[in-house]
Amino acid sequence: MTTHKLHPMALFRLMVLGPLLSCERLQRGDVGRIARELAQRAYDIPGSRRCHLSEKTILAWYHDYRRAGIDALAPKVRADRGHSKLAETVQHAIVAAKHDKPRRSIRQIVRTLEASGLIAAGTLSRSAVHRLLQQHGLSRPIGSASEPEEHRTFTASTACSLWYGDVMHGPRVPFKGQIRKTYLVSLMDDASRLIAHSAFCLGETALDIEGVLKQALMRRGVCARLVVDNGAAYRAQTLQGICARLGIQLIFCRPYRPEGKGKLERWHRRCRDQFLGELDASRINSLEDLNARLWAWLEEIYHRTPHAGLNGLTPLQRYQQDLPRIRTLGPLATQLDALFHHRVLRLVRRDGTVSYDGARFEVPYELCGRKVELVVDPHTARVIGVENEDGKPLGSATPLDALANLHRVRHKPSAPTDSSALAAPHTARTPNLVEIAHAAHYASSKD
Is the pLDDT at 46 greater than 60? The verdict is yes
How far CA 78 is from CA of 12, 75, 131, 285, in Å, comes to 21, 10, 11, 51
pLDDT at 447 over 90: no
- Residue 416 pLDDT: 57
pLDDT at 400 over 60: yes
pLDDT at 143: 45
Tell whether the torsion through CA atoms of 124, 125, 131 and 134 is positive or negative.
positive
pLDDT, position 429: 57
Establish whether domains 88-135 and 341-405 are of one fold.
no
Q: Which CATH superfamily is 163-331 part of?
A: Ribonuclease H-like superfamily/Ribonuclease H (3.30.420.10)
Q: What is the pLDDT of residue 145?
A: 45
Q: Among 380, 378, 368, which Cα is nearest to 343's?
A: 378
Q: Rounded CA gap, 437 and 409, in Å?
A: 43
Contacts of 287 (CB under 8 A, 6+ apart): 173, 175, 180, 182, 200, 202
Q: What is the pLDDT of residue 148?
A: 47
Domain boundaries, the chain: 8-73, 88-135, 163-331, 341-405
Q: Read off the pLDDT of each residue in 413-430 and give the average, rounded to a whole number.
A: 53
Rounded to whole angstroms, the Cα distance separating 253 from 229 reads 5
Using a pLDDT cut of 90, give the percent of the chain over it: 26
3-state secondary structure 243-294: HHHHCCEEEECCCCCHHHHHHHHHHHHHHHHHHHHHCCHHHCCCHHHHHHHH
pLDDT of residue 433: 60
**How far is residue 353's CA from residue 375's CA, in Å, rounded to a whole number?**
14
Contacts of 339 (CB under 8 A, 6+ apart): 242, 245, 246, 332
Q: What's the topology of domain 341-405?
A: OB fold (Dihydrolipoamide Acetyltransferase, E2P) (2.40.50)
Position 415 scores a pLDDT of: 59
**231 versus 197: which is more confidently predicted?**
197
C-alpha 103/C-alpha 203 separation (Å) is 26
Task: Using a pLDDT cut of 70, give the percent of the chain over it.
Answer: 82
Q: What is the mean pLDDT of the chain?
A: 83
Classify residue 57 by burial, with Cβ atoms within 10 Å: 0-12, 13-18, 19+.
Answer: middle
Nearest to 319 by CA among 296, 295, 302: 302
DSSP for 162-186 reads -EEEEEEEEEEEEETTEEEEEEEEE
Q: How far is the CA of 219 from the CAs of 130, 189, 290, 382, in angstroms?
A: 39, 13, 20, 24
237 neighbors 244 (Cβ within 8 angstroms): no
- The H-or-E segment that residue 188 falls in is strand 178-189
- Confidence check: pLDDT of 422 > 50: no
Q: Is the pLDDT of residue 258 over 80?
A: no
88-135 domain in CATH 1.10.10? yes
Residue-by-residue DSSP string for 18-32: HHHHT-SS--TTHHH
Q: Is 118 left (phi over 0), alpha (psi -120 to 50) or beta?
A: alpha
- pLDDT the model gives residue 326: 93
